[in-house]
Chain A
């Protein structure tokens, strides 16, 4: 794969705003751990991977724990279908990401940072290594960083092997340790028992990329963007039926109607918010706002216009989950197979409504009983597409037609 993104200057209010490499590290070392944590907490920054866990809380838990070693891991296993924002950050704004890791490492008291890079992103490995090397030369990495006595930190890059589930933080850690990428039981959480059993912070690329901006420009500046509960801005990877697909930085709280306008989508039928494991929102609900409290997403926005058959869309998602479940827990491993079977049966018109209802019931079980986020969210498209497009799916032109 080649890097086919144009290196143009991107526009954005927070992440894509001007930033000088290393400046946040310098400031962080000046203000000290407590003030970093204070700023991050004040900014109300939440994890950008999708789950929305408050970043400051995660850092505080690790910072407060006593251990010989702590790890700062950057989750760059960008695998959610329709997401490519981390790729942009890593190729065009590596300084933000790595500076964020250094600041995080300093805050939690870690000396080792690991970038877990999606296997398919191997093409950017060389450039990233070069960048790390230049950081080392500027003493932004290495021993006694920027003259701060006793602050040693370095970053290693590890490649994933292509499993979607390794984006789940505990599976990612298992994978780093050399095991099958399978989620662990939680509790314990990585902040207690993470990589090699040590307290570990796992942050999304975008989360870390936001940190330098918060540190240099302050929590109040950051909070000025977005909504009350979803502060700052978000990178959206927009794809599908629109004129201008790509990565957009928009403040949280942008409505789907506004988004459609910006990306030049016409004749839109539905938007899948949050990737394959997200929810599918029909046009009638386009006044919903992109935010943790409403339409939450890790960044994937897929636009479908009127020509798309939603059953086919759903089938595609379910095929993905059938293959990408780690195969460990029952609800996810077999549940996804059964949901796909259901979709195929609807396609053929070979179903009863009581069967569909038992599948819906199953979806709810998967959401609450699966071991990790994969199985807990994989029924989302099944539930939302079936709910929002039942008229289409069970009508004569939606392919669920032949049912007597």
Chain B
């Protein structure tokens, strides 16, 4: 029985022939012939996989390693002996001994014709496009030597560009209808904002009733941006305003940088995924003209203390006071995509969310209050920028309630890609810069904050702190590595037994502290369905990140993306973490300082609630 929960139509789902477990069994391997070369592949391998494994390049456009197979662009067609028509190699599983030709005249002509067709309907002005030099259509046309527009070219834009969303821009004039965005939205993220409408020449990608993006249930995760092969989808770029602020001597421009962009920005400068450029980036940001460069990890540490305290309070209320109104498990609230997701899809479950703001917003509130006071700067002159891997952060900092300081707590959310552009604009080659540290008074943060960038990171950081708060001992894992939180499995689940706890937490003695980690809203949905069915009653804490892989796979990260790339980024983050002197949030001296000096009543106190906590909005599925 097909999975009816999956919303993607079967026409856009792959035909999978399960690969045999035992390849040595009879029929396990199939011998085929690719361009006269005899090779042997496991049963069920697609032609595309077989060719790539044998170093034969097949061009693709609608195919994406993260997404189900659509077989709609037809760029990857190959000739299969005995078949009347060409076959899309991405969607053809090998189940018999076949002969394939990947570059015969018929195939070459077909590909060239298809690319010409795509170009004829694509309003591409490459030099004025965000995806210039990182566009798959551009690459294809180069590969196939397109030298003239045989079938014409769109001279004037047809569609109005949708700038309504604070996070995303949709320019359907550049859309080639590969439907990756649809598959991302419906299948990968299970949000379902984008779908094809009309048919024939009027086919286009659209939203519910063709409404602008701000009026539909888009969660701004930006996963579609990362997978759009052209410049049809991109993030709403605030860099012009930021330059203006930098150039304005009146303004004190500060920037906080999140860990994920630092682990990925090298890719924008030609480095393979998996190189972290934190110290070089600090130098670059100062050269660009930011007055102060701070580390978002500092407020990640703060988040852990607030969120951890909140969790312990909830546990106490539930266990000691037998308060049945307390909602458990507590869900993390760092990911703005996830927040909007739950607000739209599970508005009745908002009470399960931690009220702690995300690190970005905590920092915003701290900068325009505590920092402004300490430095004697009028907060109205401060322009607070955040470098994030995330397109939803742009939406988050524009949420009306994010003004605890009396001003916009964070003025601009900047993505990795946009900052890379600013760095290039400033004539800087990032990887070759000298290294420098973060600015005081927040300085270097703990490694616990750093690993927020990978899925499971918040949980790992929280456990390190909560376990130690409760028992007075370090978490019982080698080198503080909580492997149960790591890795890219969709939903992870584990538990730690709390034993010999400190007297203050005697109510937790013997409790099997159970936690879950999910990334990608499709997985979040599964967790929420479990919650609805009452199957999470023994779980205490759940971390959810809207994007696959966590922040390092965010919608503002360098393009392309794939699981392999995300794994490399995670590796870079974990490697950087192990080298840091402080690896537990509660040991961050600057965090201690903030509490002593600025919030003396400690985490979850009244002032902390005013500045560092927030509330959510029951949005529901229809925006009226």
State the A residues within 8 Å of B (CB): 163, 165, 170-171, 174, 177, 179-180, 182-185, 187-188, 193, 196-197, 321-331, 333-338, 341, 355, 358, 361-362, 364-365, 367-371, 376
Contacts and interface: CB of A to CB of B under 8 A. Distances in A.
A338 B117 contact: yes
B85 A376 contact: yes
B200 A365 contact: no
Contact of A338 (B110, B120, B196): B120
Given A177-B10, A184-B11, A371-B72, A333 B203 contact: yes
A369 B93 contact: no
Interface string B435-471: 0000000000000000000000000000000000000
A258 to B, nearest CB: 30
Given A326-B199, A327-B199, A330-B72, A179 B9 contact: yes
B570 to A, nearest CB: 33
A362 B177 CA distance: 19
Contacts of A322: 200-201
A335 B117 contact: yes
A367 B70 CA distance: 19
Nearest to B92: A187
A370 B200 contact: no
Interface of A is mostly: helix
B305 to A, nearest CB: 49
10 contacts: A170-B11, A196-B1, A323-B201, A328-B11, A328-B72, A329-B72, A331-B74, A355-B150, A369-B74, A371-B71
Size bracket of the B interface: 35 or more
Nearest to A192: B15
Contact of A180 (B9, B91, B117): B9
B9 A327 contact: no
A184 B198 contact: no
B120 A334 contact: yes
A364 B421 CA distance: 43
Interface of B: 1-2, 9-11, 14-15, 69-75, 77, 84-86, 88, 91-93, 95, 106, 109-110, 113-114, 117-118, 120-121, 150-152, 176-177, 179, 196, 198-203
Contacts of B95: 187
B119 to A, nearest CB: 10
A185 B203 contact: no
B109 A365 contact: yes
Given A323-B200, A327-B202, A365 B2 contact: no
Contacts of A333: 177, 200-201, 203
A335 B9 CA distance: 24
A335 B121 CA distance: 11
A338 B109 CA distance: 16
A364 B86 CA distance: 11
B89 to A, nearest CB: 12
Contacts of A327: 177, 196, 198-203
A321 B201 CA distance: 9
Sort A-B residue pairs by CB-CB distance and give the 8 closest, nearest first: A327-B203, A179-B9, A334-B117, A197-B2, A365-B113, A185-B91, A184-B11, A365-B110
A334 B121 contact: yes
A365 to B, nearest CB: 4
A171, A323, A365: residue with the most chain B Cβ atoms closer than 10 Å? A365
Given A327-B196, A376-B85, A185 B201 contact: no
B113 A182 contact: no
